[in-house]
């Protein structure tokens, strides 16, 4: 007589029930690990099905800033350092599995060429590094390649460009609001113990979660330029009013950083936006600047110090540069020295710190030259410098061609301001700003498909 197979067993419900029971039992003893695993699976699945969610997650990861650092395998990582690679690899897997094409435009090719040259420079320069130094440089290269590759991911978001730009602007608004709170609660980094951890005191300056007034000012200036483009091309009164309100919040936050480089970036972006986009906007920015100088004595003093530094650098004044400006000049001279010693391929991407005459072990600003393009030249040589300029030049050319659009004029003015800002601070390679640049650039280049 033939035995009957249990229909429950036949349908596979018992093995499934055992699996659920096993997971539930493991959750009792390892709740954190199981929760993290389940969360990771949900995150990966969502990123795979909805690539736009991955871009949103990366933008969101810039908000915690230095407060989101995680110690892992003996290294300190930003939350963005952990989220971005997962998002990128999931997107690449999706493209391969679905047999979707990758786009190779002249802009994409220039960026990929820079990735290759940066990697080659590190391979050549690795002979002068010990294991710990090589690991440090390699992590920096992986970070740049990962964040830089969001340019390609953003190109696939051609139908959702406006939504992604809105996410970037909303992130700027949140950073400003958090910055106001920290400005009140931590007015002096020394009293909070942050100076002992390698941060500058930053007394009475807004830093938000990035804990650096110059970088956050550069970020605000970049986003304000993008926002300016949207304001110019928004005709609906309620939407335009909301955008102007958001701009006011970010502008107030930028002014409270008292960052001279941030003010220069804002001024230059506003100049481009006004001359190319709308002259009335330029007049409005001038009026806001005059009012700001009249209301805030400290802001007026910072602008005066900026003017003094410019005249001293150009030789029109015999006054001695202030200590901060002197450090900038020393950093530029150091970068030129390193570049001249290794003109073709540089010293290797991410290895600048190990070739400085003086490098602080505790400072958070000792991993590259203060000037971003000089940092590119010193670490990747004339080959990398050329490839990077071709990438940026083609992006600016595309933005000029699309200057009649909100994203075109916004991006054009944003990058012009950022390039000026990056002369004084290595802002082109600051993780969050780099991500914003690559996402907005990718959205712009999506029109080139």
Tell me the average pLDDT of the chain. 85
Which residues form the domain of 344? 106-448
> Is residue 312 included in any domain, yes or no?
yes
Model pLDDT, residue 448? 47
Half-sphere exposure of 35 (CA within 13 A, CB side): 5
pLDDT in tens, 206-253: 999 999 999 999 999 999 999 999 999 988 999 999 999 999 999 999
Q: Is the pLDDT of residue 58 over 80?
A: yes
> Is residue 401 included in any domain, yes or no?
yes
User: In this structure, what token pair is assigned to residue 185?
Assistant: 């609660």
Overall average pLDDT of the 416-432 stretch: 95
CB contact at 8 A, 376 and 347: no
> Is residue 9 included in any domain, yes or no?
no
Model pLDDT, residue 299? 63
pLDDT in tens, 362-378: 445 556 788 999 999 99
Overall average pLDDT of the 97-117 stretch: 93
> Is residue 50 included in any domain, yes or no?
no
> Is residue 126 included in any domain, yes or no?
yes
> Is residue 72 included in any domain, yes or no?
no
Phi, psi of 158, rounded to the nearest 5 degrees: -60, -35
| Structural domain count, the chain | 1
- C-alpha distance across the termini of the chain, in Å: 69
> Is residue 10 included in any domain, yes or no?
no
Overall average pLDDT of the 354-358 stretch: 79
User: In this structure, what token pair is assigned to residue 335?
Assistant: 């970068």
> pLDDT class for 277, splitting at 50, 70, 90?
confident
| Tokens 């908000």 sit on residue | 63
Model pLDDT, residue 348? 95
Model pLDDT, residue 390? 97
Overall average pLDDT of the 252-271 stretch: 92
CA-to-CA dists, residue 249 to 172, 185, 232, 270, 310, angstroms: 9, 18, 18, 16, 29
> Is residue 6 included in any domain, yes or no?
no
> pLDDT class for 310, splitting at 50, 70, 90?
low
Phi, psi of 88, rounded to the nearest 5 degrees: -65, -45
pLDDT in tens, 194-206: 777 777 778 889 9
Model pLDDT, residue 324? 73
The dihedral through the CA atoms of 19, 22, 27, 33 has a sign that is: negative
The dihedral through the CA atoms of 203, 204, 209, 212 has a sign that is: negative
pLDDT in tens, 71-89: 888 888 999 999 999 999 9
CB contact at 8 A, 386 and 392: no
Radius of gyration of the chain (CA): 24
Q: Is the pLDDT of residue 343 over 60?
A: yes
């Amino acid at each position: 007589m033939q035995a009957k197979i249990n229909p429950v067993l036949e349908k596979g419900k018992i093995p499934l029930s055992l699996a659920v029971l096993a997971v539930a039992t493991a959750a009792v003893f390892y709740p954190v690990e199981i929760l993290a695993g389940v969360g990771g699976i949900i995150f990966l699945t969502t990123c795979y099905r909805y690539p736009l969610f991955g871009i949103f997650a990366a933008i969101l990861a810039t908000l915690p800033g230095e407060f989101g650092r995680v110690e892992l395998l003996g290294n300190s990582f930003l939350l963005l350092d952990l989220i971005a690679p997962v998002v990128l690899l999931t997107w690449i897997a999706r493209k391969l599995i679905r047999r979707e094409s990758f786009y190779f435009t002249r802009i994409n090719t220039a960026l990929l060429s820079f990735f290759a040259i940066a990697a080659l420079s590190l391979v050549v320069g690795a002979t002068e590094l010990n294991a710990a130094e090589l690991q440090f440089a390699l992590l920096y290269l992986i970070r740049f390649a990962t964040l830089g590759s969001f340019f390609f991911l953003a190109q696939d978001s051609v139908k959702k460009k406006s939504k992604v730009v809105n996410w970037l602007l909303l992130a700027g608004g949140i950073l400003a609001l958090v910055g106001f709170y920290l400005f009140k609660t931590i007015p002096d980094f020394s009293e909070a113990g942050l100076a002992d951890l390698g941060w500058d005191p930053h007394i009475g300056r807004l830093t938000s979660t990035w804990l650096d007034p110059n970088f956050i000012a550069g970020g605000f200036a970049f986003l304000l330029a993008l926002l300016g483009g949207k304001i110019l091309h928004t005709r609906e009164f309620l939407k335009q009013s909301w955008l102007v309100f958001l701009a006011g919040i970010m502008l107030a936050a930028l002014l409270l950083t008292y960052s001279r480089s941030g003010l220069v970036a804002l001024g230059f972006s506003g100049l481009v936006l006004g001359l190319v986009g709308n002259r009335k906007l330029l007049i409005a920015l001038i009026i806001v600047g005059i009012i700001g100088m009249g209301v805030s004595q400290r802001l007026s003093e910072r602008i005066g110090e900026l003017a003094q530094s410019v005249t001293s650098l150009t030789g029109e004044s015999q006054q001695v540069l202030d200590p901060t400006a002197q450090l900038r000049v020393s950093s530029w001279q150091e970068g030129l020295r390193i570049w001249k010693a290794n003109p073709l391929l540089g010293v290797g991407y991410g290895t600048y710190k190990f070739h400085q005459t003086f490098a602080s072990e505790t400072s958070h600003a000792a991993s590259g030259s203060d000037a971003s393009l000089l940092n590119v030249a010193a670490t990747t040589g004339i080959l990398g410098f050329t490839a990077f300029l071709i990438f940026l030049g083609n992006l600016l050319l595309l933005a000029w061609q699309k200057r009649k659009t909100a994203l075109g004029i916004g991006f054009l003015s944003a990058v012009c301001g950022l390039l000026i800002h990056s002369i004084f601070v290595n802002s082109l390679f600051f993780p969050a700003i780099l991500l914003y640049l690559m996402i907005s650039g990718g959205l712009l280049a999506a029109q080139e498909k």
